[in-house]
Every structure is written in structure tokens, then in C-alpha cells.
Amino acid sequence: MSGRRFTRKDGRLTPPRGVKLERNEKNAPRYETRAGFKVRSRLEQRCADWLHEQKIAVQYEPLILLAGRQYRPDFYLPQHEPFIEICGYRHMPFYTDRQEEKRRLYERHHLNVIFINAGGAAEALKKLKAALSDAGILTSED
């Protein structure tokens, strides 16, 4: 019975109960930050390290449910309330379309989200610092 497979209504096979399936690790977080958690890209790593240097607490990819779907913004600043989305693939049309869809969805649900559109780490950090200053999270001494 352990090797037996069952067919679902859609015709796809399901594994027998108790069998642990390999998870797709292609997009798993792999870059270690100074704060001790892993992120998916070097751009996120640089931003997370900078936030850590500023002593700003972050949660990485918190799960939120909006309109019946799951979303994971890149960062959440629990002491200050905004979510942060780091957008680094501006050259990919489907990626920018997805970002615009997320932006509209977040606005519709009245979420405070800061979008950082950047081509590189230096530009991202500059924009992140400016956005956090504008939001009153960073002071001029920071």
C-alpha cells in the first residue's frame, strides 16, 4: 500500500499519505543577513543589513491575506507599521505589471506600503533612506 497512488478528480496523481515531498528550493531564501535571517536576493540582503544597522526591527516576508489570496511583502516594520517592497527587476514587463497590481491591491486595502524601485543596491538604499525619512521613521541624525 505504501507505493500506491491515488488519482484526484482532475486526473493528477497524489502521493501516498505520509510521504514527504521535496519542496522546490529554487527560490528559497539563501542570503544570510546581519540580523540572522535569510532573504531571496542580494538587493534584499543589502536593504535588510542597512535596516539592521539603523536598529530598525523587521519581519521578512510576513504572510498577509488580501482578497482571498496570500501575499508576502518583502519586509514589515512592526514598530512603525509600513510594509516594504523592494522591486529590482524593472526590465521585466510581467514583474512590473505584478508590482502595479500589488500597489493597487494594497491601496484598496489601505495598507501602508513603501515601494522601492531600484536598479542596484546603492540606488535602493538611497531611495529606502529617503522613503523612511519622509515617513518619519528615520530622523536626520540617523
| pLDDT tens-digit series, residues 87-120 | 876 667 777 888 899 999 999 999 999 999 887 8
46 - beta bridge partners? none
Q: Give the rounded percent of residues in the chain with a pLDDT score beyond 90.
A: 56
Residue 142 has pLDDT above 90, yes or no: no
How far, in Å, are 3, 53, 55, 119 from residue 129 at the CA level?
55, 12, 13, 16
pLDDT value for 43 = 92
* Beta strand pairing call for 75-76 and 83-87: antiparallel
The one-character DSSP state at 112 is: -
| pLDDT tens-digit series, residues 24-50 | 666 788 899 999 999 999 999 999 999
